[in-house]
Amino acid sequence: MSQELLPRDEATLKVASPHEPIVVFENVSIVFDEKPVLQNISFRVNHGETCILLGPAGGGKSVLMKLANGLIRPDSGTILIFGEDITRMSEDELYKMRERVGMVFQESALFDSLSVEDNVAYRLHENQVPEAEAHERVVEALRFVELEQAIAKFPSELSGGMRRRVSIARAIIAKPDLILYDSPTGGLDPITSTTIIKLVMKQRDVSHTTSLLITHRLQDAFTLAMNRFDSETNTMKRLPNNGTDETTKFLVLNEGRIVFDGTTMELVRSADPWLKEYLS
Amino acid sequence: MPFVSPEDFAKQKIGAVQDYSILAWQAIANFFSRPRYMADVYTQMDLIGVGSLPTIALTGFFTGSVLALQSATSLKAFGATSMTGNLVALSMVKELGPVLTGLMLAGRNASGMASELGSMKVTEQIDAMRALGTDPVRKLVTPRLYATVVMLFFLTIVADAVGIAGGALVSVTMLGMNASTYFHSSYRSLEYADIVQGLTKPMFSAFIIATVGCYFGMNTKGGTQGVGRATTQAVVVSSIFIIIVDFLVSRGMIGIFGR
């Protein structure tokens, strides 16, 4: 049943061709307190792709994620989401655009005064979805993240990993066309991190949702790139012949600049000395 | 603390005034378009109004009581103790009721708003709300603004009534005055202009409490320390604004009504 939640009606997408990009950054720059945080960032993420953002802390990854959702505006450059320039949108237009975007925040950002059910159903309640239908969809979303038993709990009663899973359930409940994961495994133990990565992979391989994912754990990034989700056994399986997932690409940021944009194989074969040191 | 040039300081302050004005305008205007979060308005009315009732009643009662006690001592020198009710009623309705209720509510609710919204800001809940397609000003600020305006109006009436009753209790039990004389004197002293003045001030105070509290909350930076700073600033700024605006409204009302 959880899989019923995920297959998406692609006819609803404005971007008709699967080869057209969902996210396009063109020469995007932003400065905070006279310090350049991002400088001339240009990249694109195509339909169905998962773009993993790597880089040292303070490199501007979270800022880039917020820019992609229109939560902050760049000082210069253009950001196209679903083919529309969000840098020129009014706040009301951005709210409409965000209905097609799910976001998982670094610290989950669950509403602490609402129960898990109300957190996950937040968007449905805002859209006046009938209570019975909303409850059913919350149960489906929580089943997807294997957290049905926590439906009546409050965020303060959950562990860090459980909060991230609730946050993922909240992000996917409206069947978004784009998911932004801001360090979903940050601060979690390796076992819980793997559980979260499995959920990200499940979303990628079952629903083929376009996504951007920030991670500080290279292990998580390569797990995503070298495995696929097996729906029958509900487990991750290594791709045959040490292969890599073609829809997963990497973007590496350092000090506000892109130092790498390409596939997994291109990344591991890169001769860039800084990149080699970072990956070692 | 880093040194800030006068130019940057001025820019920061002007920017803050601009941000505050935009927030206040949006909070007012949101009520005239959909979606309206009426459930949140009622929740806030309960928290702000019903929740503040004991505090406001106690403050009003003892203010009226002490006013009767102090004024009777002075009036006695002129043989005018029968005017105690007059003085208590006028003071409570025109000045002390609105101002003290506003200040008490600023201490209780401006701080509450700043800390609640500030905590949401530093834990990215405000960003999450925006990411989920909800306007945080519409959802969080507008209900608090309208709930405060409505409830402070009624709380001021309660404070006025309880204050006059407190004055009566002191006048009758401690000063040996006749209850009928006290209430008659109180009633006769109040004119239409006094009531209008006394009930106009809470509207301004409520606007200040809600917008200042929410402004500092929505602009909180710097983790838990920032939340504490925002809370303190909200109480201090709203209290000062209430007293300044009280003076301006009093002056305006005297200009209009002549008393």
3-class secondary structure for chain A? CHHHHCCCCHHHCCCCCCCCEEEEEEEEEEEECCEEEEEEEEEEEECCCEEEEECCCCCCHHHHHHHHCCCCCCCEEEEEECCEEHHHCCHHHHHHHHCCEEEEECCECCCCCCCHHHHHCHHHHHCCCCHHHHHHHHHHHHHHCCCHHHCCCCHHHCCHHHHHHHHHHHHHCCCCCEEEECCCCCCCCHHHHHHHHHHHHHHHHHHCCEEEEECCCHHHHHHHHHEEEECCCCEEEECHHHCCCCCEEEEEEECCEEEEEEEHHHHHCCCCHHHHHHHC
* Contact status of B131 with chain A (Cβ, < 8 Å): yes
Instruction: pLDDT band for B82, please (50, 70, 90 cuts).
Output: confident
CB within 8 Å: A98 and B130: yes
User: Cα–Cα distances in Å, from B142 out to A118, A126, B133?
Assistant: 21, 16, 17
Res. B185: pLDDT tops 70: yes
Q: Which two tokens stand for residue B248?
A: 């301006």
* Contact status of B29 with chain A (Cβ, < 8 Å): no
Give chain B's mean pLDDT. 94
B107: region left, alpha or beta (phi > 0 left; psi from -120 to 50 alpha): alpha
* Region B90-105 average pLDDT: 96
CB within 8 Å: B130 and A71: yes
CA distance A99 to chain B (A): 6
CB B221 within 8 A of CB B242: no
- How far apart are the C-alpha atoms of A252 and A261, rounded to whole Å? 7
Q: Which two tokens stand for residue A99?
A: 């209905």
> Which of A71, A96, A109 lies closest to B125 in CB terms?
A109
CB B242 within 8 A of CB B208: yes
Alpha-carbon torsion (B160, B166, B170, B172), positive or negative: positive
Per-residue pLDDT at A186? 85
Burial of B58 (0-12, 13-18, 19+ CB in 10 A): middle
Please tell me the total count of domains within chain B: 1
Q: Which two tokens stand for residue A193?
A: 């991190």
Element (H, E) at B65: helix B51-77
Mutation site, B44, B126, B132, interface A, largest A CB count within 10 A: B132
State which residue of chain B sits closest to A124, comparing Cα positions. Answer: B132
Per-residue pLDDT at B73? 87
State which residue of chain B sits closest to A174, comparing Cα positions. Answer: B132
CA distance B133 to chain A (A): 4
Per-residue pLDDT at A231? 87
Burial of A36 (0-12, 13-18, 19+ CB in 10 A): middle
Q: Which of B98, B87, B56 shows the shortest CA–CA distance to B167?
A: B87
CB within 8 Å: A112 and B128: no
> Which of B35, B124, B133 lies closest to A109 in CB terms?
B124
Residue-range domain boundaries for chain A? 17-100+177-279
Q: Which two tokens stand for residue A210?
A: 């376009």
* Contact status of B11 with chain A (Cβ, < 8 Å): no
Mutation site, A34, A71, A101, A178, interface B, largest B CB count within 10 A: A71
Per-residue pLDDT at A19? 65
Question: pTM for this one?
Answer: 0.88
Residues of B in contact with A105 (CB under 8 A): 124, 127-128, 131
CB within 8 Å: A110 and B125: yes
Per-residue pLDDT at B235? 97
Q: Which two tokens stand for residue B210?
A: 């809600």
In a domain, B3, yes or no: no
Per-residue pLDDT at B34? 86
Res. B237: pLDDT tops 90: yes
> Which of B35, B123, B135 lies closest to A109 in CB terms?
B123
- How far apart are the C-alpha atoms of B76 and B74, rounded to whole Å? 5
Q: Which two tokens stand for residue B97?
A: 């009721």
CA distance A58 to chain B (A): 16
> Which of B35, B124, B133 lies closest to A105 in CB terms?
B124
Residues of B in contact with A168 (CB under 8 A): none
* Residue B149: domain span: 35-257
In a domain, B243, yes or no: yes
- Could you confirm whether domain A17-100+177-279 is CATH 3.90.1150.10? no
Per-residue pLDDT at B3? 77
CA distance A127 to chain B (A): 10
CB B159 within 8 A of CB B97: yes
Per-residue pLDDT at A2? 43
Mutation site, A108, A126, A156, interface B, largest B CB count within 10 A: A126
Phi and psi torsions of A84, nearest 5°: -115, 140
> How do the pLDDT tens digits run along chain A, 280 residues long?
444 444 444 434 454 456 679 999 999 999 998 889 999 999 999 999 999 999 998 889 999 999 999 999 999 999 999 999 999 999 889 999 999 999 999 889 999 999 999 999 999 999 999 999 999 999 999 998 889 999 999 999 999 989 999 999 999 999 999 999 999 988 888 888 888 999 999 999 988 899 999 998 899 999 999 999 998 888 999 998 888 888 999 999 998 999 999 999 999 898 889 998 988 8
- How far apart are the C-alpha atoms of A213 and B39, rounded to whole Å? 36
Residues of B in contact with A122 (CB under 8 A): 132, 134
pLDDT digits (tens, 9 = 90+) for B12-34: 999 999 999 999 999 999 999 98
pLDDT digits (tens, 9 = 90+) for B133-164: 999 999 999 999 999 999 999 999 999 999 99
Which residues does residue A73 pair with via DSSP β-bridges, in sequence order?
none
Instruction: pLDDT band for B259, please (50, 70, 90 cuts).
Output: confident
What is the ipTM for the molecules in this complex? 0.86
In a domain, B237, yes or no: yes
* Contact status of B2 with chain A (Cβ, < 8 Å): no
User: Cα–Cα distances in Å, from B157 out to B69, B96, B238?
Assistant: 22, 11, 21
Residues of A in contact with B123 (CB under 8 A): 107, 109, 112
In a domain, B85, yes or no: yes
